[in-house]
């Protein structure tokens, strides 16, 4: 009898009891707005920022409404404006070029490698075209950050990191988001902590942090932050920085604080599941797993593989067969966007030159979520199903 998986690829674990209790306390207080405090009191949001700064080793942290807002705020805070060109990965999700477009800037797309990271040779060739790189650690894959930062330093390019998929990850021991001037993280439901929506911006640069706080809508109440610069830094920027409200509220912060405390354990659980699937897919005919560098400490909340050189029809047949057996795979090679799987040439607001290397990668790129609601046995079953269907379609085509 053919095995079938019956789990849900969109079901998350429940919010921890401590988060529910804290959320109820906020609701009972009525003080949901982050600046609605009494003398001597610090809000849940301010405490969350302090804790996330400590977790990442950053001097400053700002909690905001979404990861996309964190990116657009970081770009504004480092001086990106209308007409400026901003380098970014060709393989990413729509909020990344969207953040660039939201400030009136123009994305300059950089090729991607079969490791699913930014092509550093192409970055070096294009570095002179822009003064900022919005680097997406797409799907949790981290490039050689030492080489990337050397390239950007030589070309005087400021790096902002999109860490939506790398909260808890690191390169050579340095947390993701801590190489560039700012790191931006997401707390959206499918990320590594879950508040429905939400995000963080971290930086060691005092003026970047002060601008970001004012941009987020501090109404000159910046003294109510615990992970922000000194008042004199705000004095230098407060009259020249607009309020573009995007604050996090205390309800989401209350939900997130216990999740942050448990992040290390959650990363271990994700990686146990990732490795189970990875081991089950090793040496599958026609299937290639991206190689992970030794210096990368990743968070395996999703897994990707390549069906390189396959026709669109055969890739779609694999997806159809796996779906019939309960395994939900996403394909980044479709000519039209499907849910989140849009391509760089889908974003018509951002003109792009042909990127043949990226096109080859995306044509065979398959993506799958790994919720923590899956057991290790579930992951082994999923791997067996994918392996069987890929092997069957591969053999039929040879």
Q: Which pLDDT score is estimated for 9? A: 97
Indicate whether 336 pLDDT > 90.
no
Cβ(214)–Cβ(239) below 8 Å:
no
Alpha-helix residue ranges (DSSP H) falling in 59-191: 67-77, 95-102, 120-126, 145-154
pLDDT of 82 reads: 97
DSSP secondary structure of 222-275: GGG-SSS--HHHHHHHTTSS-----BPPHHHHHHHHHHHHTHHHHHHHHHHHHH
Mean pLDDT in the chain? Answer: 97
pLDDT at residue number 337: 87
pLDDT of residue 91 exceeding 90, the answer is: yes
Q: What would the pLDDT profile of 201-228 be if each residue is shown by its tens digit?
A: 999 999 999 999 999 999 999 999 999 9
**Predicted local distance difference test score (pLDDT) of residue 340:** 84
What average pLDDT does range 234-251 have in this prediction? 96
- Nearest CA to 76 out of 149, 155, 123, 132 is that of 132
What pLDDT does residue 398 have? 63
Q: Is the pLDDT reported for residue 126 higher than 70?
A: yes
Q: Kindly tell me if the per-residue pLDDT of 352 is higher than 90.
A: no
Helix (H) or strand (E) holding 302: strand 302-306
Give ranges for CATH 3.40.640.10 in the chain: 17-261
Percent of the chain whose predicted confidence (pLDDT) is above 70:
100
Mean pLDDT, to the nearest integer, of 365-387? 98
Per CATH, the number for 17-261 is 3.40.640.10
- Per-residue pLDDT reduced to its tens digit, 35-87: 999 998 999 999 999 999 999 999 999 999 999 999 999 999 999 999 999 99
- Which DSSP string do the residues of 376-390 spell out, in sequence order? HHHHHHHHHHHHHHH
Q: What percent of the chain has pLDDT over 90?
A: 94
Q: Tell me the fold of 263-396.
A: 3.90.1150
What is the spatial distance between Cα 356 and Cα 254, in angstroms, rounded to a whole number?
Answer: 46
In the chain, which segments carry CATH 3.90.1150.10?
263-396
Q: Is 325 left (phi over 0), alpha (psi -120 to 50) or beta?
A: alpha
* 335, pLDDT greater than 90: no
User: What pLDDT is stored for residue 338 in this prediction?
Assistant: 86
Least confident of 47-51, 212-216, 262-266, 347-351: 347-351
């Amino acid at each position: 009898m053919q095995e079938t998986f019956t789990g849900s690829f969109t079901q998350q674990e429940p919010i921890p009891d401590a988060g529910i209790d804290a959320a109820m306390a906020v609701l009972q207080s009525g003080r949901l707005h982050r600046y609605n405090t009494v003398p001597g009191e610090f809000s849940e949001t301010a405490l969350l920022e302090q804790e996330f700064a400590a977790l990442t080793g950053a001097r400053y942290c700002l909690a905001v409404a979404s990861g996309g807002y964190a990116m657009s705020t970081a770009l504004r805070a480092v001086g990106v404006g209308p007409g400026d060109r901003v380098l970014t990965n060709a393989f990413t999700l729509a909020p990344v070029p969207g953040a660039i477009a939201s400030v009136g800037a123009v994305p300059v797309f950089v090729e991607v490698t079969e490791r699913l990271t930014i092509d550093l040779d192409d970055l070096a060739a294009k570095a002179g075209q822009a003064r900022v790189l919005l680097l997406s650690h797409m799907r949790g894959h981290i490039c050689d950050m030492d080489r990337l930062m050397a390239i950007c330093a030589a070309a005087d390019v400021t790096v902002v990191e999109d860490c939506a998929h790398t909260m808890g990850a690191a390169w050579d021991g340095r947390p993701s988001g801590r190489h560039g001037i700012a790191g931006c993280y997401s707390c959206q439901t499918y990320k590594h902590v879950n508040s429905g929506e939400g995000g963080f911006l971290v930086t060691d640069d005092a003026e970047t942090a002060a601008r970001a706080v004012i941009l987020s809508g501090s109404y000159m109440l910046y003294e109510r932050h615990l992970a922000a610069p000194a008042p004199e830094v705000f004095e230098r920027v407060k009259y020249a920085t607009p309020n573009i409200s995007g604050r996090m509220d205390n309800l989401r912060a209350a939900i997130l604080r216990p999740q942050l405390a448990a992040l290390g354990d959650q990363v271990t659980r994700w990686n146990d599941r990732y490795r189970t699937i990875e081991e089950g897919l090793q040496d599958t005919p026609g299937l290639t797993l991206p190689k992970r560098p030794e210096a990368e400490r990743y968070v395996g909340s999703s897994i990707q593989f390549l069906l390189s050189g396959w026709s669109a029809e055969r890739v779609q047949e694999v997806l159809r067969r796996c779906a019939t057996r309960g395994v939900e795979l996403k394909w980044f090679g479709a000519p039209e966007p499907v849910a989140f799987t849009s391509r760089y040439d889908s974003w018509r607001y951002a003109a792009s030159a042909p990127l043949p290397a990226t096109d080859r990668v995306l044509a065979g790129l398959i993506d799958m979520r790994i919720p923590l609601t899956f057991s290790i046995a579930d992951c082994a079953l999923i791997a067996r199903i994918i392996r069987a269907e890929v092997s069957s379609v591969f053999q039929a085509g040879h």
